[in-house]
Amino acid sequence: MEVVGIVFALAIITAIWGDQIHPPKKLIESVEYSLDFASLNHTLEVADEVIEYQPTGLSYSSIRLSHKDFTIGVSLQNPISEEDKTKSKGESNATDIQLSSTWGRVYYELFYQDYKGYKIEGSDDGIRSNISSLNYGVTAVYFFNKSFRPATLFGHTEKNRSPQKSSIIEVNISDVKFESNESLIPTELQPKFSGFGEVTRVDATQYALSYGYTRQFQLSNFYLLLKGTIGLNISDLKFKNSNLKDDVTIGTAIGIGGDIGYEFDQSLFGIMINSKRLSNTSDYNTYSQIRSFGSLYYRFFF
């Protein structure tokens, strides 16, 4: 936990003496320290039967510097304790990069996720190191309300939060690969998931379009942001070693998010959570992936 301790110590120092630090305004407008949690889960479904694939809990200690709509930072994965490794019978490894910014009434995000090692929920086998997934793409959110300011809610350089609301439209384009060098479905479960056969790989190029709503509530110095979207997900699905044929499908795209915190004179302290589920159904067999991200953050404005 050395990395967490260093980031926590830097946050305390900034909170106490930040008003005495004067970096060049042309270079740095805010600094953020955070403990981040990320995950890329997968599910296979047939009727009421579901197999869930989850990596071990991965967390990162992060520091970000921002200027206007541009943010640069570094994140280091926190080590997993020996106790947690024993409980999960192994550990996952991941490279998880998520970059975001705002431009006018548009919020956009680039992401790259490479995970190795998954646990099959309900199985006693522990982490299967031969299961991996790769997911990358872009998300863009447009806010219809002309007075809505995404930079104050999703950016890092504007602090003055106030009650806001807006309808939104979200576009997500991504490519995901979920694979193993043997069947993704455990032998004992294959009779229930015969539609998938002995599938060893799923490829999905996805184009999701969603409509939703977001609202910011303000009570004194406390703030609460809620966001929800629902829409369609068009996917070009490809299977390896499966009874299913390659297919273009129409599924669902569902997203939820929230941000709650407290605003000080020169800083913010809060918790943010976002999750997006994209589903694809072929011949009554459904493959889904869930991309989740959470953050406990402290942001200081110079």
Q: Which domains does the chain have, with CATH numbers?
A: 34-56+79-295 (2.40.128)
Residue 243: predicted pLDDT: 79
What is the rounded CA–CA span in Å between residue 298 and residue 31?
Answer: 8
Q: Tell me the Ramachandran region of residue 84: left when phi exceeds 0, alpha when psi lies from -120 to 50, beta otherwise.
A: alpha
Residue 62: predicted pLDDT: 85
What is the rounded CA–CA span in Å between residue 241 and residue 187?
Answer: 14
CA quadruple 301, 274, 104, 62: dihedral sign: positive
Q: Is 143 exposed, middle or buried (0-12, 13-18, 19+ CB in 10 A)?
A: buried
Residue 136: predicted pLDDT: 95
Two tokens at 290? 């869930």
Residue 157: predicted pLDDT: 54
Residue 86: predicted pLDDT: 64
Q: Where are the beta strands (DSSP E) in 158-200?
A: 164-180
What is the rounded CA–CA span in Å between residue 152 and residue 157?
Answer: 8
Mean pLDDT by 10 residues, the chain (302 residues): 64 69 70 87 88 86 76 74 66 81 85 91 79 95 88 61 87 96 86 84 95 91 92 93 85 94 85 93 87 89 78
Residue 301: predicted pLDDT: 81
